[in-house]
Amino acid sequence: MAKPSPFQAGLNGRCPECGEGAMFAGLLKLAPRCHACGADFEKADVGDGASVFALFIIGFLAMVVFLLVAVGFNNPPLWVHAIIQIPLIFGGSIAVLRPIKGVLFALQWHHDAQEARLDD
């Protein structure tokens, strides 16, 4: 059986080795291993990369929405921006964080990326 695409496996939250088992054991916690094929996920760690990408994506969208509301409603009070921006930022961050983390993990798995080491 061929390995699934890292993008497809990551976006679906599936094992990057077999495409069957779950990649996550919670909302954002990676499972220790795949229950379908037994692939060990302990060696891979995406670190803060997914958070940084989510911050840039949602931050850009939030700024665009802020400017559109400011121009469209002729500088409304700050509470109007707060009502729009707070759910957008929190909801958007949670919505994109898991797929981004899944794709980064699957790409790391696909390319067998490891932490840098100094050779002796």
Residue 87 has which token pair? 């759910």
Model pTM score: 0.84
Those residues whose C-beta lies under 8 Å from the C-beta of residue 72, and which sit 6 or more positions away, are none
- Cα 49 from Cα 42, distance rounded (Å): 17
Exposure string for 5-42, b = 16+ CB within 10 A, e = fewer: ebeebbebbbbbbbbebebbeeeeebbeebeeeebebe
Q: Is the pLDDT of residue 115 over 80?
A: no
Give the model's confidence band at 1: pLDDT under 50 very low, under 70 low, under 90 confident, else very high: low
* pLDDT (tens digit per residue) in 57-112: 999 999 999 999 999 999 999 999 999 999 999 999 999 999 999 999 999 999 88
